Amino acid sequence: MKTKILITLFLLSIGVTAQIDRSKQPKPGPAPKITLQVPQEFVLDNGMKILVVENHKLPRVSYNLTIDNAPITEGDKAGTSSLLGAMLGNGTTNIPKDDFNEEIDFLGASLSFGSESAFARTLSKYSERILELMADAAINPLLTEEEFQKEKDKLIEGLKTQEKSVDAVASRVGGALSYGTKHPYGEFVTEETVNNVTLENVNAFYQKYFNPNNAYLVIVGDIDFKTIKEQVENYFGKWEKSIEVSTNVPTANPNVQYTQINFVDMPNAVQSNISLTNNVELKMNDPDYHSVLIANKILGGGFNSYLNMNLREEHGYTYGARSNVGADKYASRFSTGTAVRNAVTDSAVVQVLKEINRIKNEYVTDKALANAKAKYVGDFVLALERPQTIAQYALNIKLKDLPEDFYATYLEKINAVTKEDVKRVANTYFKAENARIIVVGKGSDVLTNLEKTGIPIKYFDKYANPVEKPEFTKPVPSGVTAQSVINKYITAIGGKDNAMAVNTVHSSADVTIEGAPFAPKADIKQMVPNKESMEMSVEGMGVLMKQKFNGETGYIEQQGQKMPMEGEILDNQKSKITLFPELYYDDSFKLSLESLTTIDGNDVYKVKIEKDGKTTFKYYNAETGLLARIEKTVTIGENETTSVVDYSKYSPVKGVQFPYHQIIKSGPQTIIFNITNVLVNEGVSDEDFN
Amino acid sequence: MKKSLFSLAAFVLAGLTVSAQEVKFEEYDLDNGMHVILHQDNTAPVVTISVMYHVGAKDENPERTGFAHFFEHLLFEGTENIERGEWFTIVSSNGGSNNANTTQDRTYYYEVFPSNNVELGLWMESERLLHPIINQIGVDTQNEVVKEEKRLRVDNQPYGRFIENVNLNMFNKHPYKGTTIGKLSHLDAATLEEFQAFNKKFYIPNNAVLVVAGDIDVPLVKKMIQDYFGPIPRGKDIVRKFPKEDPITETIRAKAYDPNIQIPAVVAAYRTPSFKDRDSYVLNMISNYLSSGKSSKLYKKLVDEKKMALQVGAFNISQEDYGVYVLFGLPLGETSLDGIIAEIDEEVVKIQNELISEKDYQKLQNKFENQFVNSNSSISGIANSLARYYMLYDDVNLINNEIDIYRSITKEEIQAVAKKYLNPNQRLILEYLPKKDD
């Protein structure tokens, strides 16, 4: 058996100079020779594979058991595996729990289990007994109802300790949104799912997945191969092989179609946790793997990476900023991560995007590329100090389907990466244009500025469920009432007399319908008290849509099909006051001042208007007095639709202020009106509404 | 089961003399007072170069807290021959890793390199000591970074202010009452001259120990050390005088609030002597007896059997002048904080009133032996231990014979130390509570 591989180091090597000149950085000495030891191996009849690395430097031994199952989805019983992991290693059907734990502690050793793994460390003089205890605990676990209840209580209580942790929430939401909550890497444990788990579920999990078929035991330390082989055969040989489990790993969520902020509000946060992430198709045996490692190293793989030098050293926004790319067999993400103070959350988002775009659009310098490679060479050498490294490498080759010479050729491949490779893989894997920027922070401090970045924001709760934008209210100054807000509005638009003098309005607008391939023009006419007409046309296609109401009847005509207004729609239209309804608020309108909140960074008063059992919310800019938003929920048949109309860019015509920019959001649809011209009391007649 | 344990005890007694590999080292002083320790181990082509300075948070002007830790940032900004921002690039582009950390007692800097870069590491550390650049731009940048470090590690972390509140209540006069990260307002108020003065006072060769450990050629490295560190001028000797604390004679009760938690914690904390004191070693054993491992007294009773606590623990914050012995618990379900303290007390009283069993004593010895073997498992860990034992314990040989101290501690001593320090009138009871949303 070939047990050692000699590796060529790609380190600079120049002889040592005799006289020192401290103004010059010393040159490295001759590159050290390194050898990569190869573990010895054997296989048991039950399928368990054993890797042994002898290392006698210290009188100690470690055992590392890994069961290589595909990732498992637990669904509404998420937590089953955590519970199994917590229960394993607490006694066996042969040794009561207290005696078992007492003996491990007595030997000064440690033994711990996961749901598909185990780890033990001991002085070499007790290594056989610890191996025996580990095997007994793995093969004959003591899974009792009492222990189950106890671990369940602890797990639930443990979840509570993380409830207000910004980092814990960021990590949970990041996985859930990226992979989807149906994916094993995206699902998470909650009090509810833990409560769904029974002892039978835990037992079933153990029976199905904790088997020698795909088990690897890695033994490192002060042991002799021949002796340990006999011991392993003796203690693990009786572990019975089980039927192969076939697991279907669900597909991860696709990446989002456009860059977006996914915001989670945590009022206790003093820093925002920001991570930009997209899923990647990358495996360790892909030809791109080494190039991606280098690209990531330069972008955010260390202290002197683009991200850290920008966010920490140049701007002082953060203690650190990093990036990471996974190369898992089943699903992986690219992600950047940083935690910044609330006040610079928006700026940090902008800088993160800037650095990702930099590595995608500009070649890295030769120096940066050489430095990144040198760091990989160094890390490779430094890691060899630990005998576990050799075992880990050998295990990776098996678990991740790598070629046998993966580590022997590792440095060679790292060294072959070019700046063209870096740019290419940055564009393939760092998908800023399809990324979620997950921000977990204190909304009342950070949202106003985040909105100003212009990046669309979607809101989620701490468990990754979509929610409405959280509302942050401020104390209403004394003396402000719903009526005073309305009065201020009337004054702001030009005063009652000017507004009352408006009889008709004729507006022309450029319309953008989100998702539509064409940009129509709209011709809108209004006449007091409630007449309305809108025609939308596209150049070369004629009139697309007509909507008319003459005070009594109305219709909607689309692509030649004419539908009369009926029922609720007609009633709504009849009772509506088209122009400046605020002028007509009397006792039949119930007005109440809800709160002082913000829209797009501006303070606004939210006024609730109730009439005939219908509720509308209107938001008035606290400073200018002008109307900023109307929000109402319309029920048509069984469908409830909330429509939100935002008004901005006010400009006067005949002494009255009109909003030249309107964004209408109704259900999933967004329509933007950019008004190009407004005529008051000109060119509108009754016939226009028929 | 009984049978196997019995035979095991015999085995333990027979096997007790097995020892970890001895760490061989060589030490000497440079003419400027800098102490040097070399440890050669050629098994892997790796070298650690480290310098420990005897300056920590306790050495600060009480109106300028946070300085010692701030220097741990500032001294990466550059030197007369290393441009600002280049430090980390030089290290990583030569395949190395580096970091630094600060405690109440000392500041530690280190680089780990493939062994052909030992000279580079020595050059960098000598540059840092001889002529670092301390200017306003570096101060301003690192001030922001340190603020973020505090937000990250303290303000945004569940239980992040736990130790801080213990120390605040345990010390009245001694600077251990403050935190290593210090008060941000002090850093904001500090002038450039104050930073430069701090550097001149503490960053001197006669206040430092240099360790070079790993795959080295000893005569060659000695020459390099002389070349790079020899010419650095000696500084003015540092006089240290810290106020002594009055003994605690009545229980101190305090509360602290944390907005990042839902489950409260309760702490009983006792003031203990310096880590150099033999009693401190005994207290380490008591911590282990109470809370290390599933069979330990507190874990077994409170977490496992009575299900009163989610977590329970004991640890000894060991420091140069005083220590703090901390017992804590996080209640499970309806358990009250006082209920946890009462249960913890019951176990402490048992140690005070009766000798621990022979089996428990043997268990402790085995655990400390295991700890000892593992403590010398990496070159960088050995370098750190050598520096620490020299600078703070005045005895480098502890790296090989600290285990003998533990071996020599008797059951009677454990009882006596518990009686001496762990009494209700000598302690703080801190309730660490969730802060309700405003």
Helix axes B2-15, B358-375, angle to 10 degrees: 50
User: Mind telling me how many Å the CA of B288 is from chain A's nearest CA?
Assistant: 11
Distance of CA A568 to the CA centre of its chain: 42
Cβ of A302 within 8 Å of Cβ of B88? The answer is: yes
Round to whole Å and give the CA distance between B319 and A686: 90
**Residue A665 has what pLDDT?**
83
Quick check: A637 pLDDT over 70? no
Cβ of A304 within 8 Å of Cβ of B369? The answer is: no
* Domain count within chain B: 2
Percent over 70 (pLDDT), chain B: 95
**What is chain B's mean pLDDT, rounded?**
91
Q: Please state the rounded mean pLDDT for residues A629-644.
A: 78
Cβ of A22 within 8 Å of Cβ of B127? The answer is: yes
Quick one: B178 and B282 in the same domain? no
- The reported pTM is 0.77
| Chain A residues in contact with B120 (beta carbon < 8 A) | 25-26, 28
Cβ of A103 within 8 Å of Cβ of B157? The answer is: no
Q: Which residue of A has its CA nearest to B435?
A: A268
Query: pLDDT band at residue A522, thresholds of 50, 70 and 90?
Result: very high
* B residues 74-113 closer than 8 Å to A (CB): 81-82, 85, 88-90, 92-97, 112-113
pLDDT digits (tens, 9 = 90+) for B142-167: 888 888 888 888 888 888 888 999 99
- B19-23, B36-40, B126-130, B359-363, range with the lowest pLDDT: B19-23
Quick check: B297 pLDDT over 60? yes
Residue B17 lies in a domain: no
Q: Residues B277-280: contacts with CB within 8 Å, 24+ apart?
A: B278/B405, B278/B409, B279/B417, B279/B420, B279/B421, B280/B316, B280/B318, B280/B323
* B residues 221-240 closer than 8 Å to A (CB): 224, 227-228
Which ipTM score applies to this complex? Answer: 0.83
Quick one: B72 and B184 in the same domain? yes
**Residue B435 has what pLDDT?**
85
C-alpha distances (whole Å) from B138 to each of B77, B132, B143, B197 are: 6, 11, 8, 16
State which of B229, B262, B285 marks the end of a domain.
Answer: B229
Quick one: B266 and B396 in the same domain? yes
Among B228, B296, B373, whose Cβ lies nearest the Cβ of A20? B228
Cβ of B4 within 8 Å of Cβ of A103? The answer is: yes
Quick check: A609 pLDDT over 60? yes
Query: pLDDT band at residue B12, thresholds of 50, 70 and 90?
Result: very low
Percent over 70 (pLDDT), chain A: 97
Task: At B264, list the tokens.
Answer: 């409260």
| Chain B residues in contact with A377 (beta carbon < 8 A) | 95, 114
Q: Which is more confident, B184 or A286?
A: A286
Quick check: B124 pLDDT over 90? yes
Among A102, A123, A316, whose Cβ lies nearest the Cβ of B370? A123
Round to whole Å and give the CA distance between A554 and A607: 30
Q: Please state the rounded mean pLDDT for residues B349-370.
A: 95
Residue B331 lies in a domain: yes
Cβ of B45 within 8 Å of Cβ of A384? The answer is: yes
Quick check: A12 pLDDT over 90? no
Residue B14 lies in a domain: no
Quick one: B303 and B165 in the same domain? no
- A431-435, A464-468, B51-55, B332-336, range with the lowest pLDDT: B332-336
**Residue A3 has what pLDDT?**
56
Quick one: B101 and B133 in the same domain? yes
* B residues 282-311 closer than 8 Å to A (CB): 292-296, 300, 303-304, 307, 310
Q: Please state the rounded mean pLDDT for residues A304-314.
A: 92
Query: pLDDT band at residue A636, thresholds of 50, 70 and 90?
Result: low
Round to whole Å and give the CA distance between B301 and B314: 14
Quick check: A4 pLDDT over 90? no
Cβ of B310 within 8 Å of Cβ of A158? The answer is: yes
Query: pLDDT band at residue B20, thresholds of 50, 70 and 90?
Result: low
Cβ of A378 within 8 Å of Cβ of B227? The answer is: no
Residue B3 lies in a domain: no
C-alpha distances (whole Å) from B348 to each of A110, A256, B163, B275, B345 are: 25, 58, 21, 21, 5
Quick one: B224 and B262 in the same domain? no
Cβ of B119 within 8 Å of Cβ of A34? The answer is: no
> Would you say A342 and A332 are in contact if contact means Cβ atoms under 8 Å apart?
no
Quick check: B433 contacting A, CB < 8 Å?
no
Q: Please state the rounded mean pLDDT for residues B365-375.
A: 91
User: Mind telling me how many Å the CA of B28 is from chain A's nearest CA?
Assistant: 22
Among B19, B332, B437, whose Cβ lies nearest the Cβ of A157? B332
Within A442-527, strands assigned E span 457-460, 466-467, 504-513, 521-527
Q: What is the CATH number of the domain that holds B370?
A: 3.30.830.10
Cβ of B18 within 8 Å of Cβ of A125? The answer is: yes
pLDDT digits (tens, 9 = 90+) for A354-406: 999 999 999 999 999 999 999 998 999 889 888 889 889 999 999 999 999 99
Quick one: B214 and B267 in the same domain? no
User: Mind telling me how many Å the CA of B214 is from chain A's nearest CA?
Assistant: 10
**Residue A361 has what pLDDT?**
97
> Would you say A524 and A509 are in contact if contact means Cβ atoms under 8 Å apart?
yes
Cβ of A103 within 8 Å of Cβ of B363? The answer is: no
Round to whole Å and give the CA distance between A582 and A490: 7
| Chain B residues in contact with A341 (beta carbon < 8 A) | 147-148, 151
Quick one: B210 and B310 in the same domain? no
- DSSP class of residue A402 equals -
Cβ of B363 within 8 Å of Cβ of A157? The answer is: no
User: Mind telling me how many Å the CA of A96 is from chain B's nearest CA?
Assistant: 9
Quick check: A17 pLDDT over 70? no
Helix axes B398-408, B278-291, angle to 10 degrees: 70
Quick check: A591 pLDDT over 50? yes
The domain containing residue B46 runs over which residues?
Answer: 24-229
Within B224-284, strands assigned E span 252-258, 265-273
Query: pLDDT band at residue A632, thresholds of 50, 70 and 90?
Result: confident
Q: Which residue of A has its CA nearest to B375?
A: A58
pLDDT digits (tens, 9 = 90+) for B304-336: 899 899 899 988 889 999 999 999 999 988 899
> Would you say A560 and A473 are in contact if contact means Cβ atoms under 8 Å apart?
no
State which of B197, B229, B261 marks the end of a domain.
Answer: B229
Quick one: B256 and B218 in the same domain? no
Cβ of A98 within 8 Å of Cβ of B126? The answer is: no
Cβ of B114 within 8 Å of Cβ of A382? The answer is: yes
| Chain A residues in contact with B92 (beta carbon < 8 A) | 302-304, 371, 374-375, 378
> Would you say B239 and B266 are in contact if contact means Cβ atoms under 8 Å apart?
no
Residue B69 lies in a domain: yes
| Chain A residues in contact with B437 (beta carbon < 8 A) | 267-268
Taking one residue from A and the other from B, the number of pairs with CB-CB distance under 8 angstroms is: 254
| Chain A residues in contact with B310 (beta carbon < 8 A) | 154, 157-158, 161
**Residue B17 has what pLDDT?**
42
> Would you say A222 and A56 are in contact if contact means Cβ atoms under 8 Å apart?
yes
| Chain A residues in contact with B224 (beta carbon < 8 A) | 20
Quick one: B80 and B204 in the same domain? yes
State which of B214, B229, B244 marks the end of a domain.
Answer: B229
Cβ of B95 within 8 Å of Cβ of A377? The answer is: yes
Percent over 90 (pLDDT), chain A: 68
What CA dihedral angle connects A359, A363, A368 and A373, to 10 degrees? 90
Query: pLDDT band at residue A638, thresholds of 50, 70 and 90?
Result: low
- Name the percent of chain B in helix, strand, coil, to the closest 5: 45, 20, 35
Q: Which residue of A has its CA nearest to B116?
A: A29
What is the distance between the terminal CA atoms of chain B, rounded to a whole angstrom? 56
**Residue B121 has what pLDDT?**
97
Quick check: B18 pLDDT over 50? no
| Chain A residues in contact with B46 (beta carbon < 8 A) | 381-382, 384-385
Round to whole Å and give the CA distance between A254 and A44: 41
Residue B274 lies in a domain: yes
> Would you say A329 and A323 are in contact if contact means Cβ atoms under 8 Å apart?
no
pLDDT digits (tens, 9 = 90+) for B200-210: 999 999 999 99
- A220-224, A414-418, A552-556, B7-11, range with the lowest pLDDT: B7-11
- A532-536, B24-28, B75-79, range with the lowest pLDDT: A532-536
User: Mind telling me how many Å the CA of B321 is from chain A's nearest CA?
Assistant: 30
Residue B15 lies in a domain: no
Quick one: B121 and B171 in the same domain? yes
Q: Please state the rounded mean pLDDT for residues A440-450.
A: 90
Quick check: B10 contacting A, CB < 8 Å?
no
Round to whole Å and give the CA distance between B139 and B78: 12
Hunting for tokens 């023009």 — which residue is that?
Answer: A521
Query: pLDDT band at residue A16, thresholds of 50, 70 and 90?
Result: very low
Residue B243 lies in a domain: no
Quick one: B210 and B122 in the same domain? yes
Task: At A205, list the tokens.
Answer: 């999990």
| Chain A residues in contact with B158 (beta carbon < 8 A) | 161-162, 164-165
Quick check: A6 pLDDT over 80? no
